[in-house]
Structure formats: structure tokens, C-alpha cells
Structure 1
Amino acid sequence: MVKQITEGVSITVETFYQPNQSNPLNGEYLFAYRITIENLSTVPVKLLRRHWHIVDSNGLFREVEGEGVVGQQPIIQPGEDYQYVSACNLRTEIGKMYGTYLMENLYNKKNFTVAIPEFKLLAPFKMN
């Protein structure tokens, strides 16, 4: 599990290899990740956009950008959190992801960027 705080917003990431939805013989590895976004500030914030960098161990680099997360643009009140689960497919059993969220301070209507800490995607059988 990794955690990072940017501008009063805490991002925590947990990852899970999905063996039942992976096919290593075909170079298909699926990883789920749970993200908890906690608003440690004194103002409500809204998640507007996401921007992901995805890298696997054969050097393949992808970017994913779009509105919100899992079809939502959550508003997170001070002291509250928002959690979601998503997934990423790789062609190798090892990779990493990192990125940013574009957030809006709902009091002053200013946008700011929150870092998503780098996290590893690692199939358990590669840990030995």
C-alpha cells in the first residue's frame, strides 16, 4: 500500500493481482487497484479528471486520461473520503502506475493537481 498527500488531499492505493482474469500463457495479466481519496483540507473538493501513466516491464508505456473516475466526479467534503476500485491490464507480470487527479476547490472554484503515488503491479509468483 502506498500513500501520498498533496494540497490537503490524501491518496492511498492498494493493488491486487487477479489470477482468475489473467492468462499468463497469452501474456495477459489483470491487476485491480483500490484508491482511497481522503479530503484532509477544510474545503469541499471535486474530482474532475484523471491522468494515468502505465508502464510494464517490457517498456510499453501508456497514458490514460479522462473525466472523473469509474464514471463519477465525486465531491468530497472536509474529513470525508471516497473509495473506488478499478483495474489495469498488462502484457507482463510486472508493471507500475502513477498519475494525477485534477481537482476543484468548491469554495474558490480554483483547480489544482493532486499526485497519485507510483505503485507497483506485481504478480505474486514473481516475488520469489
Structure 2
Amino acid sequence: MSEHSPEPDVRVDVEPSYREEESSPLENRYVFSYTVTVHNHSARNVQLMARHWKITQSSGQVQEVRGKGVVGKQPMIGPGQTFRYTSRAIIDGPVGFMEGGYTCVDTASQRPFEVDIKMFRLATPNQIH
């Protein structure tokens, strides 16, 4: 057995949704909600400590967002459990992209590790590109 155990197996799924009633295309304001599900497939407790998002606007401008936890929490996610939350992003056009990651801690060893969040698309309905 090695001294260094592998990082816990944590995966993230994201489901974006356009919020037409909150958006104002005439003002270049496109609001999206996104529901994130964090799956802990490991045998250890993990705690989500911080987030990092890179938001690419329709204009090409990139915004970076960093902060403690998510939606005001630093959730503990037990073995086999999930944590789900919904947040929002506002972009300047009908299509944008988000990607990022979470900094988590294996609570047994107190070792931090990163969980990547693959790029996903924010797009109003009927956008082809």
C-alpha cells in the first residue's frame, strides 16, 4: 500500500437553462440558471471549500469568479452522496460558455484536491453556433 492514497472520485454534472423572463435582449442581458450536481463516488467524506469559474461572454470577454464554497455553503458530501444547487450567470449575448473547478478537501487526511468542471454552453433556444 502506498503512502499517498488516490484523490477521492468526485464528479460534477451541470444543466444550464435560459431564463427568458429575467433576460432583456435589447439591453444585451441574457440570464441563465445552471444546476450543478456534485457526486462523491469515493469511500471518503469530502468538503467543497471553494469555487473558480471562467465565464466567456458572447462578446469574447472572459470573466473569472472565485469564492468560498457555493451558494453560501461549504457542503460536506459523504461517500456515495450528491450535493445539488442552482445558481445564475448573466452574459452579454445569446451564447456563452462556462468552465471551472472546485477545491475540495478529503476530510480524513485534510488533503486538498481539485475537481475540474468541463466547459458547458449557455445558449438561448434555437442557437446553432
| TM-score of the superposed pair, with normalisation by structure 1 | 0.93
Deviation string 1:70-90 (CA, Å, 9 cap, x unpaired) is 000000000000000000000
**Identical counterparts, % of pairs:** 37
Bigger Rg, which one: 2
Match of 1:83 in 2: 84
Select the structure that is richer in strand.
1
Residue 56 of structure 1: CA displacement? 1.5
Q: TM-score, normalised to structure 2's length?
A: 0.92
Q: Number of paired residues?
A: 123
CA distance in 2, matches of 1:86, 1:39: 20
1:108 and 1:126 map into 2 onto residues whose CA distance is 46
List aligned pairs for 1:90-109, cutoff 5 A.
90-109=91-110
| Equivalent residue number for residue 40 of structure 1 | 41
The reply on whether 1:69 has 2:63 as its aligned counterpart is no
| Paired amino acid for 1:24 | P
Q: CA deviation at 1:10?
A: 1.1
Q: How far does residue 55 in structure 1 lie from its aligned partner after superposition?
A: 0.1
Q: Flag structure 1 segments of 5+ consecutive residues without an equivalent.
A: 1-5
Stretches of structure 2 lacking an aligned partner (at least 5 in a row)? 1-6
